[in-house]
Chains A and B, each alone.
Chain A
Amino acid sequence: MAGILKKATFSDLLKRMKVTLKTMFKPTVTVHYPFEKVKPRKRFRGIHALKLNPDGSYRCEACYLCATMCPSNVIDIEMTEGENGEKVLLDFTVDLTRCLFCGLCVEACPRDAIVMTDIYEFSKYSIDKLILHKDDLMEIGKYYQKWERENKE
């Protein structure tokens, strides 16, 4: 009898309507991208950057460890011998079309030269612009070092 009454009055339905109605008046949890943006967390792995020494030279010493560690051959380094027999970085290429953003290159770097920034918007109109060279990485590196100074604990 109680069961029939329950079915006829739709009391269970009202219980569920209460849940949805309550949620209607709660503040929204969505973010209106691209007008609002969520700030990535500190450990977030965005696109790569090359850090610079205080004198403006590259911190990278062309040891090839990041290129060795990379699971999908993203990194390509060109190196030559300088006047005093030291290694000179000719070009440093990061192919973002293949990158997995796993962060193993950062882990492999023995000089803290390659880092991953918090930049996650890097879509381009052509593929060749997704292949970052030495100078592009340096520009991002300047941005990163500024970010790093601001976010120091």
Chain B
Amino acid sequence: MAEKADLILNMGPQHPSTHGVLRLILELKGEKIIGADAVIGYVHRGVEKLAEHRKYMQILPVFDRVDYVSSNSNELGFVLAVEKLLGIEDKIPERAQYLRVIMAELTRISSHLIWLGTHALELGAMSVFLYAFREREKILDLFEEIAGGRLHTGYMRIGGVAYDATEKFLNELNEFLEFFPSKIDEYETLLTENRIWKSRTVGVGVIDKETAINWGITGPALRATGCDYDVRKYYPYCVYDKLNFEVPVYHNGDVYDRYRVRMFEMRESVKIIKQCLEKMPEGPVKLEDPTIVLPPKEEVYNTMVGLIHHFELVIHGIKPPEGEVYAAVEGPRGELGYYIVSDGSDKPYRLRIRPPSFINIAIMPELLKNHYVADVIAIVGSLDPLMGEVDR
């Protein structure tokens, strides 16, 4: 027989520690939670439906806004799906592939920094928040330098990337990679062996491996349970198969291990970017195919053929063949997948996103049971849900 709750508490949607507009209905027995329910849908914008009414080229800026702190991963996933549909995934210039990986990994670092800052702030460590955002600012400056946008970069294009990297960008990136590992050490000095931090996180919100797999959890939350699933290793995309990096795995599955996985991932991302900078060849950053990629501006201004191709592509859009594809990338929160059904027209017939945070927070009601109210903040924070992505 179910226990009767003493108090039903509404946590959110305006609670500052729920990472957006997540509303939790907690059934309390004293300080203990005996039942929980997550209410979502406060920032539903109908992104999937919006995509059905836009041409393939026009969808990109909309998907920047799905997961608004890791826009490059979102764009990359969509772009890879469309390229798979067009059958051009092997023809993308190599320099573009490396630039994509660099941007995706920088996004992972910046997303993890936001997570680290807010998570630590919620558990009472104010200075980590300030330090994490100080370094994140540097990454946003890098995004602004290469793409023109700070948060919504709009950098990927179907068939390559929008612009080549500038000299200034590469110099600043090298500088950043030089000093950033020492900053991770700084955060770890403040938190990893901290008594208060450990007593708030160790043994809290434990997920075991089997439960995690059954609930479909991916990303750092899964790798903290002992499973080494990472899309970058299992189904390599772009140039990840040519790069040498480790996937961190810890075995306790609690909040503390999720924290350690993310810290380790940031260090690995730095390594990946360093390798990319070494291996990146010179060359074009866009495919040369006038039915997929807009011709370069000089051609449009000066030649008749370029102008005709430009008009044709802007007005009629990219027309992939009929079919359906699924392409996934390892976003900062887990496996981010795009499933596109095409009917041969310039707009997708149906587009479905597999949002990692949406699937990760499904376990929350189960996970919160028998914990104290103060632990709710630690658990919600450690799963790192982003409500823009949950509600889409």
Chain A residues near B186 (CB-CB < 8 A):
19
* Chain B positions near chain A (C-beta within 8 angstroms): 54, 57-62, 64-65, 127, 131, 134, 137, 141, 144-149, 152, 154, 162-163, 186, 189-190, 193-195, 294, 297, 300-301, 307, 310-311, 314-315
Q: Could you tell me the distance between the alpha carbons of A40 and B154 in the complex, rounded to whole angstroms?
A: 17
A45:B148 contact, CB within 8 angstroms: yes
Q: Is A141 an interface residue (CB 8 A)?
A: no
A102:B60 contact, CB within 8 angstroms: yes
Q: Could you tell me the distance between the alpha carbons of A153 and B114 in the complex, rounded to whole angstroms?
A: 36
Known: A15-B189, A23-B131, A69-B58. A43 touches B147 (CB 8 A): yes
Q: Could you tell me the distance between the alpha carbons of A65 and B189 in the complex, rounded to whole angstroms?
A: 55
Q: Could you tell me the distance between the alpha carbons of A112 and B298 in the complex, rounded to whole angstroms?
A: 10
Least CB distance, B139 to chain A, in whole angstroms = 14
Q: Could you tell me the distance between the alpha carbons of A116 and B127 in the complex, rounded to whole angstroms?
A: 38
Q: Tell me the nearest residue of chain A to B134, going by C-beta.
A: A29
Q: Tell me the nearest residue of chain B to A71, going by C-beta.
A: B58
Q: Could you tell me the distance between the alpha carbons of A43 and B143 in the complex, rounded to whole angstroms?
A: 10
Q: Could you tell me the distance between the alpha carbons of A7 and B134 in the complex, rounded to whole angstroms?
A: 31
Q: Could you tell me the distance between the alpha carbons of A119 and B148 in the complex, rounded to whole angstroms?
A: 13
Interface residues of A in 72-105 (CB under 8 A from B): 100-104
Chain A residues near B297 (CB-CB < 8 A):
112
Contact with B along A23-47 (1 / 0, CB 8 A): 1000001000000000011111100
Q: Could you tell me the distance between the alpha carbons of A116 and B189 in the complex, rounded to whole angstroms?
A: 44
Chain A residues near B134 (CB-CB < 8 A):
29
Q: Could you tell me the distance between the alpha carbons of A101 and B154 in the complex, rounded to whole angstroms?
A: 9
Known: A16-B194, A43-B163, A104-B58. A68 touches B300 (CB 8 A): no
Pick the residue among A20, A103, A110 that contacts B148 (CB under 8 A). Answer: A103
B148:A65 contact, CB within 8 angstroms: no
Pick the residue among B57, B145, B146, B195 that contacts A69 (CB under 8 A). Answer: B57
B57:A12 contact, CB within 8 angstroms: no
Q: Tell me the nearest residue of chain A to B137, going by C-beta.
A: A29
Q: Could you tell me the distance between the alpha carbons of A61 and B189 in the complex, rounded to whole angstroms?
A: 61
Q: Could you tell me the distance between the alpha carbons of A42 and B167 in the complex, rounded to whole angstroms?
A: 13
Least CB distance, B92 to chain A, in whole angstroms = 19
B189:A16 contact, CB within 8 angstroms: yes
B193:A12 contact, CB within 8 angstroms: yes
Q: Could you tell me the distance between the alpha carbons of A83 and B144 in the complex, rounded to whole angstroms?
A: 45
Chain B residues near A68 (CB-CB < 8 A):
314-315
Chain A residues near B307 (CB-CB < 8 A):
110
B61:A100 contact, CB within 8 angstroms: yes
| 6 tightest A-B CB contacts, nearest first | A102-B61, A43-B148, A71-B58, A45-B148, A41-B144, A100-B61
Q: Could you tell me the distance between the alpha carbons of A20 and B187 in the complex, rounded to whole angstroms?
A: 11
Q: Could you tell me the distance between the alpha carbons of A103 and B144 in the complex, rounded to whole angstroms?
A: 13
Least CB distance, B372 to chain A, in whole angstroms = 25
